[in-house]
């Protein structure tokens, strides 16, 4: 075989003897036999001393019985030495096989990592493409990679969130040449939201619950987070802007982690939290600005965790808590009572 061919596992394993800590086979066998002889000699001397043997009686002639006994001892010694050699050889074969397997596993891991990195580069390149159709393919490629690459799933999620954080101009006039391109860009952004939400639902084939999602400064002109389960990690909407359209959190649940709407601006459109359950973690609207539009928490359940509107500004629009189903742990306002412009009603029978 020439040098272009890979060495077989046995040869690769043998070349790694030093790293395995194994002696050359000749030295190993010789050392084994020497150790066995020393142990036998030592055992004989110690046994003789314990039994009080002073010396060995010399016989002028060796009887047939004595000779037969000597032969039996010799055969036993040879058999014992052979057994030791067999054990040494078996141990070496096992260690070399394990080392060969480790080498193969390491090679597979490197190959898998190489494939994942190539997929990542390809998907990231697609997300940066000028054509919307290619960017859409990049969204699904990055999501698929996140499903397959558990060790770097958070990195893939970060890339998708970063796409949403990129500058997003307001809608141009529908008669302008840029309008179609803007619509395409909007579709890609909404697809990212749909893909993320699909992985936060109970029926997701691969769950992304517990990971972090950073939507800092993102402009939302629509999006669907229906039935999303925020059960861990940190979800950040800091300084995000809900400018128009409809963003829905229908039947979502907040059961752990931190969801921060810090300094978020509700400038228009409609943001729905109907049938939402707040049962754990922290959901903060601290310093949020409600300027226009509608934000409603109809039929929501506040049963645990902490929801607060500390230092929030209610300058316009509507914020409704209608037909609240459970008010066991109501949201906190500053001051203690909800400010003007916030409408709260309880479902009949709810405290």
The tens digit of pLDDT for each residue in 209-248 reads 999 999 999 999 999 999 999 988 999 999 999 999 999 9
Cis peptide before 335 (omega within 30 of 0): yes
The whole-number pLDDT of residue 227 equals 97
pLDDT(50) > 50: yes
Residue 264: inside a domain: yes
Would 102 be classed as within a structural domain? yes
State the average pLDDT over residues 56-62: 60
Distance CA 91, CA 89 (A): 5
pLDDT digits (tens, 9 = 90+) for 71-122: 666 666 667 667 777 777 777 777 777 777 777 777 777 888 899 999 999 9
Q: Same domain for 193 and 275? A: no
Q: Whole-prediction pTM value?
A: 0.71
Would you say residue 200 lies in a domain? yes
Pairwise CA distance, residues 157 & 145, whole Å: 10
Three-state SS string over 260-311 comes to: ECCCCEECCCEEECCCCEEEEEEEECCCCEECCCEEECCCCEEEEEEEEECC
Q: Which of 175, 208, 241 is the last residue of a domain?
A: 208
What pLDDT score does 14 carry?
43
HSE, side-chain direction, 13 A CA sphere, residue 30: 5
Which pLDDT belongs to residue 75? 65
Contact 216, 240 (CB under 8 A): yes
The pLDDT score that the predictor gives to residue 99 is 73
**Minimum mean pLDDT among 95-99, 150-154, 169-173: which range?**
95-99
158 plus 221 within the same structural domain: no
Residues 203 and 226 in one domain: no
Domain count of the chain? 3
Name the residue range of residue 102's domain: 9-50+71-114
Q: What is the mean pLDDT of the chain?
A: 83
Question: Quick check: is 62 in a domain?
Answer: no
Query: pLDDT at position 45, please?
Result: 61
* 203 and 303 in a common domain: no
């Amino acid at each position: 075989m020439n040098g272009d061919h890979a060495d077989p596992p046995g040869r690769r394993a043998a070349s790694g003897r030093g790293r395995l800590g194994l002696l050359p086979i000749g030295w190993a066998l010789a050392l084994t036999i020497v150790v066995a002889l020393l142990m036998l000699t030592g055992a004989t001397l110690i046994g003789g001393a314990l039994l009080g043997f002073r010396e060995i009686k010399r016989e002028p002639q060796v009887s047939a019985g004595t000779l037969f006994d000597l032969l039996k001892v010799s055969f036993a010694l040879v058999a014992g030495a052979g057994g030791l050699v067999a054990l040494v050889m078996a141990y070496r074969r096992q260690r070399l096989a394990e080392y060969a397997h480790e080498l193969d596993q390491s090679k597979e891991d490197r190959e898998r990592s190489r494939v994942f990195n190539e997929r990542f580069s390809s998907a990231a390149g697609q997300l940066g493409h000028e054509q919307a159709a290619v960017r859409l393919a990049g969204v699904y490629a990055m999501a698929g990679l996140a499903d397959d690459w558990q060790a770097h799933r958070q990195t893939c999620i970060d890339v998708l969130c970063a796409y949403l954080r990129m500058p997003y101009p307001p809608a141009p006039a529908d008669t302008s040449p840029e309008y179609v391109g803007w619509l395409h860009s909007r579709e890609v952004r909404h697809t990212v939201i749909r893909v993320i939400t699909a992985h936060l639902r109970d029926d997701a084939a691969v769950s992304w619950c517990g990971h972090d999602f950073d939507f800092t400064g993102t402009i939302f002109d629509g999006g669907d987070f229906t039935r999303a389960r925020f059960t861990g990690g940190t979800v950040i909407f800091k300084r995000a802007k809900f400018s128009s359209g409809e963003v829905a959190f229908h039947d979502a649940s907040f059961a752990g982690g931190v969801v921060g709407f810090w300094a978020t601006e509700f400038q228009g459109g409609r943001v729905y939290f109907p049938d939402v359950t707040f049962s754990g973690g922290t959901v903060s609207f601290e310093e949020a600005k409600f300027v226009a539009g509608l934000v409603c928490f109809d039929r929501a359940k506040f049963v645990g965790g902490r929801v607060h509107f500390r230092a929030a500004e209610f300058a316009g629009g509507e914020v409704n808590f209608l037909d609240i189903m459970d008010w066991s742990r109501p949201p906190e306002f500053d001051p203690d009572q909800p400010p003007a412009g916030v409408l709260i009603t309880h479902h009949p029978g709810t405290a």
